[in-house]
Structure 1
């Protein structure tokens, strides 16, 4: 990952975090907000591969851990693993088709919600998974997927612009 891509990903993470914690908190539906950081992690992993997904996931999780987590590293580990796993599909699917990344974002948000439920509630003997599924996981999954329809093309556009610039600068030296 070159410095331009790293700076772009960092700015994208900060903007997504700020939007998620300010703007989307104001326009929530029943206390549910979309997970913009997860959209960035999955999109970056899907577009550039598992290493990028792992790094973007780690830094996204650290942001969440610092501001909202009770344990430092909890969300970093979850986001990191999800980014790494989705990044493994980088070679298999074509990132220009919007349907497949939206599918991965939706499934990853479901897995994220389920892992959070298991590790944060189930181990504390709160067994009401039906309520949690219908009032938190599924609404967040749908809301995140709807926002991802508009947000993924922006992330893809930024990555394509960086790729074009890298290719132009590589041609200058050849």
Structure 2
């Protein structure tokens, strides 16, 4: 029980820190389009390391933060992040500590899916049809910078997952104290 509460608090702290850093990066680079999507990195990596359910719940909370503070409608970003976390969790069986290629590919494709969802629901339905402009000037630079930041941040998430989030529980009888 104590381990579960610690795991929830650490995950909540990481989500809050990622949201604060992503918001400050966006404010600092308001003229530049390409800022790393740290919440997407958090969602993809937690889904990849911990599974579909953990990735979905992490994505739900990350998306709700974005919806509450920056969204027009509550639930759009939560749904997109939740699906990205779920599909990231499908690759949990391929999780190896040495290989960094799979998380990079997962974050790259997750960022593409995120941007396509945003384009579909925010731009395409408003009759803004210039996909090539949005892809080359907004989507692609964000996907590249997010993947590059994942290369840096992945090892930190891996160490946190190994040292703190997956502690083995010892089976102790209650009268052995």
Please confirm whether the aligned pair reaches a TM-score higher than 0.5, indicating the same fold. yes
Deviates more, 1:17-26 or 1:109-118: 17-26
Q: Residues 33 and 142 of structure 2 are in contact (CA less than 8 Å); yes or no, is this contact kept in structure 1?
A: no
SS at match of 2:86: helix
Larger Rg: 2
- Please say if residues 95 and 101 of structure 1, whose CA atoms lie closer than 8 Å, have aligned partners that are also in contact: no
1:171 matched to 2:173? The reply is no
Residues 3 and 142 of structure 1, relative CA distance in 2, 3 Å threshold: same
Please report the TM-score for the alignment, with normalisation by the length of structure 1.
0.91
Picking from 121, 124, 129, the partner of 2:123 is 121
Contact 1:45 1:53 in 2 (8 A): yes
Instruction: Give the number of aligned pairs.
Output: 171
Measure, in 1, the Cα distance between the counterparts of 2:27 and 2:157. Answer: 22
**Structure-1 residue corresponding to 2:64:** 62
Mapped to 2, the partners of 1:158 and 1:73 lie a distance apart of 29
1:90 paired residue number: 92
Asked whether the 8 Å contact 1:46–1:95 carries over to 2, the reply is no
Deviation at 1:127, TM superposition (A): 0.4
**Counterpart of 1:72?**
74
Q: Indicate if the aligned counterparts of 1:25 and 1:33 stay in contact, CA closer than 8 A.
A: no
Q: What does residue 140 of structure 2 align with?
A: 138
Task: Quote how far apart the aligned CAs of 1:155 are.
Answer: 1.2
Among candidates 43, 46, 53, match of residue 44 of structure 1? 46
How large is the Cα RMSD of the aligned pairs?
1.8
Distance in structure 1 (CA, Å) of the matches to 2:100 and 2:31: 25
Alignment match, 1:100: 102
Answer yes or no: is the 8 Å Cα contact 2:49–2:92 preserved in 1. Answer: yes
1:14 aligns with 2:13: no
Structure 2 Cα separation of the partners of residues 120 and 74 of structure 1? 9
Distance 1:6 1:104, change over 3 A: same
Higher deviation after alignment, 111-120 or 90-99: 90-99
The alignment's TM-score, normalised by the length of structure 2, stands at 0.90
